[in-house]
Amino acid sequence: MKLSQRILHFGGWLFFERPWQSVDYATLHRLLEQSGTTVVTGIHQANDTSANRDLIRHIIGIECWAQQRISSLVNAQAYSAEYDALQPAATLTLTELADLMASTRAQSCAILQQLQQTGIALTQTVPHNQFGVLSIVAWNRYIASHALIELKKLAK
């Protein structure tokens, strides 16, 4: 493994895994709901520009990509699509994208609930392209933080 990959994997562990090692499903669910509300509110406050719509499409595409990865723990289906294939259509308005972000986050919460109901431990792991193998906890932390970080780039 290259040094740059080792550094990214360590960064993933340091940021997504380490601080969240003792959380439970309820805490993760609250994290997703709260950050989702913040993101959707931020989208509604943004200017309806092409750049903003592209950024929101990116946020939604990444979340759908993460959902596909996490869902593989329940449905045992291999994941294949990359995030760009999972982005919503470029023709959607800002309002439509805000609604889609809300439903996408609701789906992330539903997947988390399904994992809990299935009895899958939060320590179960799935590979991430950049950060290496991440637990369910880390994946959900990734989903929440990615959207919040990208939200800061929206022009208001």
Asked whether the predicted pLDDT for residue 12 surpasses 60, the reply is no
In a domain, 156, yes or no: no
Residue 38: what pLDDT? 97
Tell me what percent of the chain is helix, strand and coil, each rounded to the nearest 5: 70, 5, 25
In a domain, 31, yes or no: yes
Most confident of 27-31, 86-90, 96-100: 96-100
Asked whether the predicted pLDDT for residue 2 surpasses 80, the reply is no
Look-up: residue for tokens 């970080």?
Answer: 149
Indicate the pTM of the whole model.
0.86
Residue 11: what pLDDT? 59
Helices (H) then strands (E): counts for the chain? 6, 2
Total domains present in the chain: 1
Residue 116: what pLDDT? 96
CATH of the domain at 104: 1.20.120.450
